[in-house]
Amino acid sequence: MAGSLVSPSLGEARAFAGNLAALAPPVLLLALWEVVSLSHLFPEQVLVPPAEVFRTLFAMTQSGELQRHVGDSLHRLSVGFILGAAAGLAFGVTIALSRLAEAAFVPLFLTLWQVPVIALVPLLVMFLGIGEPFKVAIVAIASFFPVALAAFDAVRGVPRAWFEVGRVYRLSLADTVWRIVVPATVPAVVTGLRIGLTRAWVVLVASELLAADSGIGQMMEMGRQLFQIDVVLSGVIVSGLVGFAIDRGARAIEQHATRWRAA
């Protein structure tokens, strides 16, 4: 909306300036990294210079190794997220609608929510091994909580006034659900899904560091064990960029789903 108030060229100029401004800190960070590695404050094997890291990244892309690790991680992320988010939605809606379910499950839910998901890794590894089921499970657990909480709040937050409008016009239950409850809860639920997804990515990479045979986290762990710090730093950069892309993509979907909202 604000963009329409300024002339298009001015708007474009502002957007361009914004993009430029967003580039400055990463460039500065790279420069700082370069300066520190040139200063030989740390041994070169520990603080690998940026150019070296980018060479490694390029080589790993050429060989397809990087794509394989990222692909494996993303695959786990999507399977685990679908399972965890679906369960979280169902659970959140149930405790929002049933006072009995709320009384029964919410204390346990809130307690488990306080446990860092990473703390479950040793347990899960004992039960599920270090294969795919373990990583899918960890992603599912990480996405379950934020999604369940968002769904609960969203359904509870539908104003009574809107249900009254439905009653005045004698809408059927199906119409009440599809035309009032679902659209009213979509914004909060989509936000919960986005938070769940980004949180799950972080937890996945961390658990791959601890126990895995492939994936971006395991790639970093192998690099550490073989003292290939360039590989570790490549992993840092790639996992950051992937997380950033996931967040941006989810935000775009979020904005599209709530475009009726006041700007």
Partner 1 sequence: MSIDPSLRLPAETPNTPVRGELAIANLSKSFRIGGQLRPVLEGINLTLRPGEFVSIVGASGCGKSTLLRLIVGLDDDYQGEIRLDGERVATTSLDRGIVFQDHRLFPWMTLEQNIELALRNTNVPKARRAQIVAEHIALVGLEGFEKAYPHQLSGGMAQRGAIARALVTEPKLLLLDEPLGALDALTRVNVQTELQRIWMAQRSTMLMVTHDVEEALYLGDRVIVMSPNPGRIRRIVDVDLPHPRDRRSPLLHRLKDEILAELTAAPVEPGGVSDNLVRLPAREAR
Residues 107-146 as x/- pattern, contact with partner 1 by CB under 8 A: ----------------------------------------
Longest dimension (CA), the chain: 76
Long-range contacts of 119-124 (CB under 8 A, 24+ apart): 121/207, 121/210, 121/211
Distance CA 128, CA 116 (A): 19
Output the smallest distance, CB 85 to partner 1, in A: 22
> Does residue 161 belong to the site contacting partner 1 (CB under 8 A)?
yes
Q: Which is nearer to partner 1, 23 or 263 (CB)?
A: 263
Residue 1 CB, nearest distance to partner 1 (Å)? 10
Nearer to partner 1, 16 or 178 (CB): 178
- Candidates 33-41, 61-69, 81-89, 162-170; binding stretch for partner 1 (CB under 8 A): 162-170
Q: Based on CB atoms, which residue is closest to partner 1, 40 or 261?
A: 261
Q: Is the dihedral of CA 84, 86, 88, 91 positive or negative?
A: negative
Q: Pattern 165-204, binding to partner 1, x per CB under 8 A?
A: x-xxxxxx--x---xx--xx-x------------------
DSSP string, 4-55: HHS-HHHHHHHHHHHHHHHHHHHHHHHHHHHHHHHTTSS-TTTS--HHHHHH
Q: How many amino acids of this chain bind partner 1 (CB under 8 A)?
A: 19
Cα–Cα distances in angstroms (integers) from residue 134 to residues 112, 123, 208, 209, 241, in the given order = 18, 10, 10, 13, 24
Give the Cα separation of 12 and 46 in Å (integer).
43
Binding of partner 1 at residue 255 (CB under 8 A)?
A: no
Helix extents (H) in the chain = 2-5, 8-38, 50-63, 65-97, 99-113, 121-128, 132-156, 160-168, 173-175, 182-210, 216-225, 229-257
Least separation in angstroms between residue 8's CB and partner 1 is: 21
Q: Which is nearer to partner 1, 52 or 153 (CB)?
A: 153
- Minimum distance, C-beta of residue 231 to partner 1, in the bound complex (Å): 48
The residue (of 123 and 168) whose beta carbon lies closer to partner 1 is: 168
Nearer to partner 1, 44 or 175 (CB): 175
Binding footprint of partner 1 on the chain (CB under 8 A): 161-162, 164-165, 167-172, 175, 179-180, 183-184, 186, 260-262
